């Protein structure tokens, strides 16, 4: 999964109608603006430490960063963790002056205003049937899975990423918004999925040519982050979180200022928040330093 996704992201822009999948920031600027408002508000409540930086993991086309930074304001340093050369080029164009890193551990030792949207789901998972690890083997000239039965997943790469974020927050201050699809409580199940041209595909077909993801286990994430010294908020659905911090009001302001776009704005709002669209499948959780307040939008 790691090797496939490394090749996949290094060799294309997977986002948008002509790509394989569409993410929340690509639906409408409101999404990134709400993220920016949440980060800026938390920063103010923490006493506006001057050395805080904007950090993003897996920024895609750089759209979320550009929209969030318009709200946060110029003057904040921008640090992007991205391994794909193709996507770095798009991010550089959208966010001039950003500094790039390969790994979370390389972020400067300063307070973070961090966001990661659909980043953790792209990190590799392992699957187990009892004590036996489910592997991918060659069967003739096709790939096949070994063990069959009730599958339990874990994700050491994801745990390592969450540990790195949480340890950084505990030591240097700041907060992190993690947005992804996944489940609130750990449970067995095979969540590995492949998407190609906006349709589900066979995860073993076309290695490195389709998007491979697995659902984020937010209960495991919470435990991992707490163990590494961060405070963790409750989990909100994307709909709850965006609504609590005022996306409907933002949509209203935008629609009044641009009456020609009112229809497009209301359909984007529905895509982001409706329960049968992205509203309930996607979840938001925040980590923060013990000496920082919890960001807005969580109970
Ligand atoms: N956040 C963006 C893009 C999501 S796609 C959006 O919401 O539109 C996943 C992103 O994570 C891509 O930018 C991809 O190149 C990056 N990525 C995937 N695996 C990574 C890894 N191991 N390290 C750093 N970035 C990674």
- Which strands, in side-by-side order, build the sheet including 211-213? 199-201, 193-196, 211-213
Is the CB of 180 inside a 6 Å radius of any atom of ligand 1? no
pLDDT of residue 74: 80
- Cβ–ligand 1 distance for 62 under 6 Å, the answer no
Cα 199-204-208 angle, rounded to 5 deg: 80
Ligand 1 pocket residue status of 32, Cβ below 6 Å: no
Q: Rounded to an integer, what distance in angstroms lies between the CA atom of residue 132 and that of residue 250? A: 50
User: How far is 115 from 43, CA to CA, in rounded Å?
Assistant: 13
Interval between CA 299 and ligand 1 midpoint (Å): 28
**Packing angle between helix 29-45 and helix 262-273, nearest 10 degrees?**
70
| CA-angle at 247, arms to 198 and 82, nearest 5° | 50
pLDDT of residue 119: 98
Residue 8 CB–ligand 1 contact under 6 Å = no
**Cα distance between residue 133 and residue 60, in whole Å:** 32
Report the alpha-carbon distance of residue 30 to residue 251 in Å, rounded.
7
64 CA to middle of ligand 1, Å? Answer: 12
The confidence score (pLDDT) of residue 299 equals: 78
Q: Which residues pair with 127 in a beta bridge?
A: 153
pLDDT in tens, the chain (299 residues): 999 999 999 999 999 999 999 999 999 999 999 999 999 999 999 999 999 999 999 999 999 999 999 999 988 999 999 999 999 999 999 999 999 999 999 999 999 999 999 999 999 999 999 999 999 999 999 999 999 999 999 999 999 999 999 999 999 999 999 999 999 999 999 999 999 999 999 999 999 999 999 999 999 999 999 999 999 999 999 999 999 999 999 999 999 999 999 999 999 999 999 999 999 999 999 999 999 999 999 97
Q: What is the pTM of this model?
A: 0.98
Q: Quick check: CB of 26 below 6 Å from ligand 1?
A: yes
Identify the CA nearest to 64 among candidates 88, 98, 33: 33
Distances (CA, A) of 287 to 38, 44, 235: 13, 17, 11
- The residue whose CA has the least distance to atom 21 of ligand 1 is 83
- The span from the CA of 3 to the CA of 251, in Å, is 40
Tell whether ligand 1 has an atom less than 6 A from the beta carbon of residue 84.
yes
Q: State in words which class domain 2-124+155-186+207-288 has.
A: alpha beta
The H or E element that residue 284 is part of is strand 282-288
Cα–Cα distances (Å) from 120 to 6, 46, 172, 180, 235, in that order, read 14, 26, 22, 7, 15
- 136 vs 113: CA distance, rounded Å: 38
Find the 83 Cα to ligand 1 centroid distance in Å: 8
- Report the nearest-CA residue for atom 2 of ligand 1: 60
For the chain, what are the domain ranges? 2-124+155-186+207-288
């Amino acid at each position: 999964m790691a090797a496939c996704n490394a090749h996949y992201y290094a060799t294309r822009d997977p986002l948008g109608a002509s790509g394989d999948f569409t993410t929340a920031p690509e639906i409408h600027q409101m999404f990134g603006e709400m993220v920016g408002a949440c980060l800026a508000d938390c920063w103010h409540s923490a006493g506006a430490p001057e050395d805080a930086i904007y950090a993003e993991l897996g920024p895609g086309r750089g759209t979320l960063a550009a929209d969030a930074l318009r709200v946060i304001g110029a003057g904040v340093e921008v640090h992007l963790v991205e391994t794909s050369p193709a996507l770095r080029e798009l991010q550089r164009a959208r966010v001039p002056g950003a500094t790039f890193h390969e790994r979370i551990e390389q972020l400067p030792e300063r307070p973070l205003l961090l966001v990661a949207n659909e980043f953790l789901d792209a990190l590799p998972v392992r699957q187990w049937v009892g004590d036996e690890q489910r592997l991918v083997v060659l069967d003739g000239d096709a790939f096949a899975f070994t063990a069959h039965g009730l599958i339990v997943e874990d994700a050491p790469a994801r745990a390592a990423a969450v540990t790195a974020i949480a340890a950084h927050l505990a030591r240097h201050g700041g907060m992190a918004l993690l947005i992804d699809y996944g489940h609130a409580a750990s449970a067995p199940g095979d969540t590995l999925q492949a998407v190609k041209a906006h349709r589900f595909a066979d995860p073993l077909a076309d290695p490195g040519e389709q998007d491979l993801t697995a659902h984020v286990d937010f209960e495991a994430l919470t435990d991992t982050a707490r163990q590494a010294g961060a405070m963790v908020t409750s989990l909100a659905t994307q709909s709850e979180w965006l609504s609590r911090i005022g996306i409907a009001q933002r949509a209203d302001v935008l629609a009044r200022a641009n009456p020609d776009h009112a229809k497009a704005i209301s359909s984007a709002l529905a895509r982001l928040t409706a329960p049968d669209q992205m509203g309930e499948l996607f979840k938001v959780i925040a980590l923060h330093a013990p000496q920082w307040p919890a960001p807005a939008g969580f109970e």
